[in-house]
Structures are given as structure tokens and as C-alpha cells.
Amino acid sequence: MHSWRLFKDTVDHVSTASGLSIDDTLPLSLSRHGSPPILHLYIFRPSAIVGKYQDIEAALRLDRCRDRGTEYNRRSTGGGTVIMGPKVVALGLGINIDHPGLGKGIGGIFESLSAVLIRALRDLGIKAGFRLKNDLEVDGKKIAGLSATLETEKAILFHASLLVDFDIPLMLDIMNQPPAKLHDRGYSCFSQRITTIQEQLGHDIDMGPVMEVIEKAFSQQFGVSFEKDEPDRWEKESIKSLANTRYTNPDWIFSHKHPRSSMGMGELKTPGGLLEIYLSLAGSTIEHIVITGDFFSTTKDINLLESALKWTSAKREKIAEHLSEVWREDMIHGVDVPTLTEAIVKAKENLVRA
């Protein structure tokens, strides 16, 4: 049985600079230092971490972050903002793309690694599934977010955040997205879109047992054992260097290599009721969308429609195409794909720079 390395810390709450520098070292260690795959399980201090190509000043209310002592930083993998903290498992994995058992291509890689986390959640008694655009969900509500980057010739860094518990009021206070007006609806809007391990179990659970089921799921999925380890001298040098050049460096954190951000809201009266759309774009791509109003539908269906549109083109024909891919009769009573598309386009017409 092959052995992977495990960097695990169930106790300390690490800074974003420390956690992210270690994660970035994982694929480098595989490709340049001959390491086997490394799994890093840990906990961040309360923090907000944006995706590599996000506009941090548009995504976050930095003044509120500073007031609350919430760290902010930029990771090297894609996707949107994640809120980390004492009850969110942070997972970094360095693995070669041709590793046996890992699916081929972008979709295959995400499917394989999602399967591990689904297995881990099943061990806890939670039935989760993979949803479009690389999230894990339980009954249509997001429980984990996944992202990845191909850092070297063959080695990827895979990131996941798994919600054991989640501070929605904190998120509402420090995030700019979705648009501020939605904050009026506050907690209930987001509690319908997010769930946690503790909510599913109906009781509290420590971080240690959650990390153990993740470790076990990787062992079973890939047929490997884990050797508890810590960064060696070469890796410590890399971590130190990355902390300096990236994660404590304003040029990295406030990087301007990102698409322009904009937000808008649109309303449309339909036979099925009022549709309200809150939209955030990154360039010409939908970064975040909330579909709400006084129509009849289910949380699961609305979350499916929102997921189908996230990280896709905001062009009218593309919106209609992506909605059609997941649309079922009567998903929103009295509303069809052209009508929903029209409501989204209305939000797009009202966009303002974030």
C-alpha cells in the first residue's frame, strides 16, 4: 500500500499567510522535491479568502474585516470568496494529475475528489452529492466548496472548505456580494442556500472527528495509508518564501489582475409572481446570482438554477442555454426559461461597478 503524507492540525487556528503558503508548497514539493501526495487538514483564524482572480475590494468590505479583526487574503486557486473560521475544515491537497484513481481532465479531477468528501460525509451519516460548478450539497444546500489550480507541469493544488458550522451574520457583515440590498433579507436567504455538518447531524461535533473521516475516506478511495508528517527543511523554505512574496505582500493580496466587478438587481412581474434577481458579474461572467421573489418553487430547485449559472457567461443566449440544461417543467410555477432569462437580463441592465 502506497503512503501519502499528512499535515494535520486540529487545534491551532492558523493565519491565512501560514495556511495558504503551506498549501501552495504542496504541489511544488511533489514536482520539485520528490514528495508523494500530501494532504493538509487544518483550521483558519476567522478570515475571508478570495479566489485568485477576484477583485478583493469589490468582494469584501475591508473596513468591516479590519474592525472585526477578520483576516483577508487571496488564494492561488479559482472560484469565489470563502469565509473560514474555527468550525470550517480547510483542506489542501497536492497530487499529480496522472495519479492512479484520479479522474482525467478538469471534470474528472473534481468528480474524484468530490467523491472522497461525499464518502467522508456519508461516514458521518450525511448524504451529500456533487453539484454543478464544483460544490457539494445536501438537499440542494451547499455544504462544501472546491477549487483547484495546475501549479506545475503535473501537480495540482486542490482546495476544499467543509462547513462544520457557519457564521452567516459574519458573512453578511463582511461581504459585498451579493448586493447590499439583499442584506435586508439577511439570515433566512442564506440559511436556505447553505447547510453545515452540525445542522445535518442535529448536534455539535469537534473538528478532530471530521478530519478523521476525511483522512479515512482518502485512504479508502485511493487505497493508500497516511504518514503523519510536517514540512521538511526544503518545504519550510518554500513556505517562508511564499508567505513573503504572496500572502503578506499587498501586491499579491490587492492584485489588479482580475476582471471588472459589477452588481445589479432586476425585477420582473410574471404570471407566477414577482421575480427578483441579484447579480454580481466578474467581467462578462456571472460570479454570483440570487433568484428570489414571491413565486412558488423549492429551495433545492432555486439553488440548482443558481448553480447552473454561476461561473458562466452572462450573455442572454448563454443564460438561456445553461438554464435549459437543468430546467424541468414547473420548476418555478408559472415561469419558463425565456421569462427567467428576461429577469436576469434586466438585472444585467442595471449593473453598476462594484
Rounded to a whole number of angstroms, the minimum distance from the CB of residue 67 to other proteins is 30
CA distances, 341 to each of 2, 315, 344 (Å): 50, 10, 5
- Cβ proximity to other proteins: between 233 and 256 the closer is 256
Helix, strand, coil % over all residues of the chain, rounded to 5: 40, 30, 30
- Cβ proximity to other proteins: between 154 and 236 the closer is 154
- Cβ proximity to other proteins: between 54 and 238 the closer is 54
Report CA dihedral (111, 84, 181, 139) to the nearest 10 degrees: 40
Rounded to a whole number of angstroms, the minimum distance from the CB of residue 116 to other proteins is 11
H or E segment and range at residue 185: none
- Cβ proximity to other proteins: between 114 and 297 the closer is 114
H or E segment and range at residue 101: none
Given a contact cutoff of 8 angstroms between Cβ atoms, the answer to whether 40 and 91 are in contact is yes
H or E segment and range at residue 25: helix 16-33
Report the distance separating Cα 189 and Cα 173, nearest Å. 14
Interface with other proteins by CB under 8 A: which residues? Answer: 51-53, 76-79, 100-108, 110-112, 115, 133-134, 145-150, 257-259, 282-285, 311-313, 315, 318
Rounded to a whole number of angstroms, the minimum distance from the CB of residue 170 to other proteins is 22
Coil vs helix vs strand at 64: helix
Given a contact cutoff of 8 angstroms between Cβ atoms, the answer to whether 344 and 277 are in contact is yes
CA distances, 71 to each of 44, 54, 146, 258, 354 (Å): 10, 16, 21, 21, 21
Rounded to a whole number of angstroms, the minimum distance from the CB of residue 213 to other proteins is 20
Rounded to a whole number of angstroms, the minimum distance from the CB of residue 228 to other proteins is 27
Report the distance separating Cα 193 and Cα 173, nearest Å. 17
- Cβ proximity to other proteins: between 78 and 273 the closer is 78
Rounded to a whole number of angstroms, the minimum distance from the CB of residue 110 to other proteins is 8
- Cβ proximity to other proteins: between 8 and 322 the closer is 322
Rounded to a whole number of angstroms, the minimum distance from the CB of residue 284 to other proteins is 5
- Cβ proximity to other proteins: between 97 and 343 the closer is 97
